[in-house]
Amino acid sequence: MNDPEVARLRRLRLAALRVRALAIAHGATRTAAKEPLFSRMACATWRIARVASGRLRAHPYARYQKDPSVVILAGYRALAWFLALFGSNRVRALGMCSAPLGRLARQLDDARALTWTPALSDTLGRSQAELRTLMQALAFETRSGSDVERLPMHGSSAPEARRGEVPAFEGDWPYLAF
């Protein structure tokens, strides 16, 4: 593992921990206590942080194995709880989490594209797919009622999309053998 990959994995781990703190803080508020998207987001970002930490701890140099400091993690938690105070309703809280989740997805894309290890690339690829479906569900939940009715389901423009249904993944095509 080279220095740019170490720096990229550290940035990825910090971004994942930041989004995780935000998801936990919003999920613990009274307005969004029963929202499963926050727990899904916290679990997905925790897995990304664990993969990055495990890869960094396997490095032979001790200075590359360092975890983020307690001060940084406490700062992320404090900022997340402060932002959660302004999430007055469930849709606003979900909207506040969608932008950091998008930034994390872009960093994950970069880390996966530039890694040399096939096992790490495979693991990050599974996390990429999970984040894409999570971001799609967030976009679906934060739309207003009129936009939800126009959301295509399973590649069609069917207006029968209902609230609570997650639209299909865009690569979810049926298998066609010729």
What is the CATH number for 12?
Answer: 1.20.1260
Tokens describing residue 163:
């609230």
Contact status, residue 107 vs residue 50, Cβ threshold 8 Å? no
**What is the tens place of the pLDDT at every residue in 120-159?**
888 889 999 999 999 999 888 888 433 444 444 444 444 4
Look at residues 53, 48, 55, 51 and name the one whose alpha carbon lies nearest to residue 130: 48
In a domain, 56, yes or no: yes
Tokens describing residue 31:
């307005």
pTM of the model: 0.69
In a domain, 156, yes or no: no
E strand or H helix that includes residue 31: none
Give SS3 for 157: coil
In a domain, 112, yes or no: yes
